[in-house]
Amino acid sequence: MIIEEMSSVEFEEAIKSGIKTVLIPVGSVEAHGPHLPLSTDLYTIYEVCKEVARKAKVMVAPPLYYGLCRSTRNIPGTISIKGEILKALLLNILSEFYRWGLRNFFILSGHAGGTHGAYLLDAAETFIESHKDARLFVADIIKLLAPFLKELNIPPEDSHAGEWETSMIMYLKPELVKTGGFEDYPRFPKFRVVYEKEKYWSSGIWGNPLTASPEKGKVLTEKLVTFLVEEVKKFL
């Protein structure tokens, strides 16, 4: 059940039918090289959530398009929000779904930035302190896909607009894939905090999109959907 497509009556009936689980897809508006759309992180996880909803008794929340983007912030097209805003927004959304009777929350992020993920987890930890009957699942797409990437021999350093992410967009949103992608593995100076991050990473690519294919994207999508359906069943 895709909430943004439901009427008020349909939402009420779903709650009365006993649905307690909602998937909350979180993305980012962020540079993903010359070949992928700025909302790549949202498209991958939102489409996966929709597929999970076709196989399990869950709702899918309208997605959060924006996220916290540090490393790509100065590359054209990236629109980052502050972590405190992300946390406050997510807490507000969780509280509203809880108010309507939902108790199981899957916070699934297509954006895998470390600081971004820390704020999502902090929001979940804060929420559960005052809602002890709630159950929360928080994960980003790279952690979820890690075992499947290994099966396809996709290297662990391929993390952004590279082989796996380009493959998924080629499968899920082929009309949005453009030419111009190239292999790139940026190197930031260790332990240094630098403002002009575009000096070290100007492409928005971290991996090799040239080895991507829609077939790989299909395999990854299906495996991720199957895994999440099983996790939903554990909550139920």
pLDDT digits (tens, 9 = 90+) for 181-193: 999 998 887 888 8
Element (DSSP H or E) covering residue 228: helix 214-235
The 3-state secondary structure of 48-109 reads: HHHHHHHHCCCEECCCECCECCCCCCCCCCCEECCHHHHHHHHHHHHHHHHHCCCCEEEEEE
Whether pLDDT at 209 is above 80: yes
DSSP-derived secondary structure letter, 20: -
Least confident of 147-151, 199-203, 210-214, 231-235: 199-203
Indicate the SS3 state at residue 180: coil
pLDDT at 194: 76
DSSP-derived secondary structure letter, 189: P
pLDDT at 30: 97
State the Cα–Cα distance between residues 146 and 155, nearest whole angstrom. 10
CATH number of the domain that residue 14 is part of = 3.40.50.10310
Confidence of residue 84 (pLDDT cuts 50, 70, 90): very high
pLDDT at 116: 97
pLDDT digits (tens, 9 = 90+) for 38-64: 999 999 999 999 999 999 999 999 999
Query: Which structural domain, as residue segments, surrounds residue 190?
Result: 3-235
Least confident of 49-63, 91-105, 176-190, 211-225: 176-190
Total domains present in the chain: 1
Name which of 67, 51, 58 is nearest 23 in CA terms: 58
Mean pLDDT, the chain, rounded, equals 95
* CB atoms inside a 10 Å sphere around CB 214: 17
Burial label, 174 (beta-carbon count in 10 A; 0-12, 13-18, 19+): exposed
Whether pLDDT at 3 is above 80: yes
pLDDT at 195: 80
Confidence of residue 220 (pLDDT cuts 50, 70, 90): very high
pTM for the complete prediction?
Answer: 0.94
* CB atoms inside a 10 Å sphere around CB 114: 10
Q: Which residues contact 68 (CB under 8 A, 6 or more apart)?
A: 28, 80, 81, 82, 83, 86, 113, 115, 116, 119
pLDDT at 74: 92
pLDDT at 197: 79
pLDDT digits (tens, 9 = 90+) for 10-33: 999 999 999 999 999 999 999 999
Least confident of 93-102, 122-131, 193-202: 193-202
pLDDT at 236: 79
Contact 176, 167 (CB under 8 A): no
- What mean pLDDT do residues 162-189 have? 95
